[in-house]
Amino acid sequence: MPSPVLRALSGRALSRKALSSRALSSRAGRRTVVLAAAVLTGVVLAAVLVTGWAGSGKSGVTTVDGNPSAVLYAAGHRPLAPEFNATTLTGSKLSFSSYRGQVVVLNFWGSWCVPCREEASTLAAVAAQYQRSGVSFLGVDVRDTAASARAFAHNFHITYPSVSDSSSAITLNFTSVVPIAGTPTTLVIDRSGHVAGAVFGTATYPELTAILAKVTTKG
């Protein structure tokens, strides 16, 4: 039978271990709460930013079917899309300037983004529908790994290219001209390289095709 001294030492060791476990659990709990709060704050900020911006009566900006998260810019009020050079998920070099003269659907996404999964099939379908109409699709893969991004594209049958934006540099450049508050965000760039429409959040088929119908109409 253990001596009283050994029992006391053992009890202290167990107490310290229990306290350490509680402390780790408490820290993990606090980190979870902080992370959840940060995510919620980001979601709320995005909603406030987009709703306030689109509903502020800003000249030249109209909503699509009354949805403040989907907007159209009138001619003469379209911000110029920033140029960028980047590397695709397959390792090729790509210059955004090479798309000038085409209507471009530019989708900001990440394989870690749940709403991006929800819209992926829609984007693939609309890309296939417009592939012979002078419309090009291009993804900007934000804060992701190439392997995860390639798996995402394969699983959702996305055949158009995406460039890596692991540092968010491209996203930040575009944020200077349109209120991108997170992923997903989809911009429609006109033939002159200006942002003609945008969907902030999950893109739906009616919203995206309504914007494309306006932007691809000549005259």
Q: Do residue 103 and residue 196 come from a single domain?
A: yes
Low-confidence ranges of the chain (pLDDT < 50): 1-57
Q: Do residue 89 and residue 167 come from a single domain?
A: yes
pLDDT at 134: 87
- The structural domain count of the chain equals 2
Q: Do residue 101 and residue 208 come from a single domain?
A: yes
pLDDT at 219: 52
25/29 Cα distance (integer angstroms): 6
Domain that holds residue 164: 61-216
Q: Do residue 109 and residue 20 come from a single domain?
A: no
Bridging pattern class, strands 93-95 and 103-109: unpaired
CATH for 185: 3.40.30.10
Maximal C-alpha separation, the chain: 96
pLDDT at 181: 84
What residues contact 200, with CB distance under 8 A and at least 6 apart? 46, 50, 69, 70, 71, 179, 180, 181, 185
Q: Do residue 31 and residue 70 come from a single domain?
A: no
What residues contact 12, with CB distance under 8 A and at least 6 apart? none
pLDDT at 145: 94
pLDDT at 197: 98
pLDDT at 13: 46
Q: Do residue 162 and residue 138 come from a single domain?
A: yes
What residues contact 117, with CB distance under 8 A and at least 6 apart? 152, 156
DSSP three-state, residue 190: coil
pLDDT at 15: 47
Exposed, middle or buried, 174 (CB in 10 Å: 0-12/13-18/19+)? buried
Looking up tokens 């210059």 gives: 95
pLDDT at 21: 46
* End residue of a domain, out of 19, 34, 54: 54
CB 202 within 8 A of CB 193: no
* End residue of a domain, out of 37, 54, 71: 54
Q: Do residue 104 and residue 157 come from a single domain?
A: yes
